[in-house]
Amino acid sequence: MRLVGAPIESSAIEEFGPYRLQRILGEGGMGVVWLARREDTNTLVAIKFLPHAGLSPARRERFAREIKTLARLKHPYVARLYDAGTLPDGTPWFAMEYVEGIHFTAYCRSRPVEERLRLFRMVCEAVQYLHGQEIIHRDLKPTNILVESDGTPRLLDFGVARELQDVDEPAALTRPGLRFLSPAYAAPEWMRGSSRPPMRRPNGCAMEA
């Protein structure tokens, strides 16, 4: 099955299991995300793949950790994990809730201050929930927060998230992941390569930014 290394023509829809791929939503160093329809439930989902180019042991481990992290999260402001697996060719993937919305900054531009503050408080509530689960997002930024038409925020992209119990994880996993952080929003400790930033500071820096 030809898949995620490059965009496919819209007329050549690929499918696997109950999923029919429709179009690429985004791609980067941490994977490729497709919009897909689950045929048996007639629902849209977002499916993230780790292409063969990214199948180093460290990237496979980070991808597996992202799945593990998402599986723990049950919050109305965090996109939900639905399914996960591996294609016959060895490509790992996971399916999650498709969030149809606009980025945090774009949404706020056309809203009054009171509504912006309400939205910010909801994002803070989601971050507080993550901290309660002993999880640091590490890449919290406006483009990783989508706002639905009813004003509900959804946190996305846990590709570089870490559990606080993993502060002593091997440098082979930690340091390569640093290049996927966003310098304008990441805590200085992360950018310096520290494996032990203050426990709640990294997401706090993102919120302040």
Distance between CA atoms of 157 and 101, rounded to whole angstroms? Answer: 15
Check the CA dihedral 188-70-52-101 and report its sign.
Answer: negative
Residue 32 corresponds to which amino acid? V
Contact 107, 136 (CB under 8 A): no
Tally of residues, the chain? 209
Residue of 139, 150, 157, 168 with catalytic role: 139
Residue 115 CB contacts under 8 Å (≥ 6 apart), including other chains? 151
- How far are the Cα atoms of 94, 134, 188 from residue 46, in angstroms, in the given order? 8, 25, 32
- For residue 78, the 8-state DSSP code is B
Residue 188 CB contacts under 8 Å (≥ 6 apart), including other chains? 205
139 catalytic per annotation: yes
Residue 82 CB contacts under 8 Å (≥ 6 apart), including other chains? 45, 95, 96, 97
Helix axes 113-132, 201-208, angle to 10 degrees: 170
Catalytic residues: 139
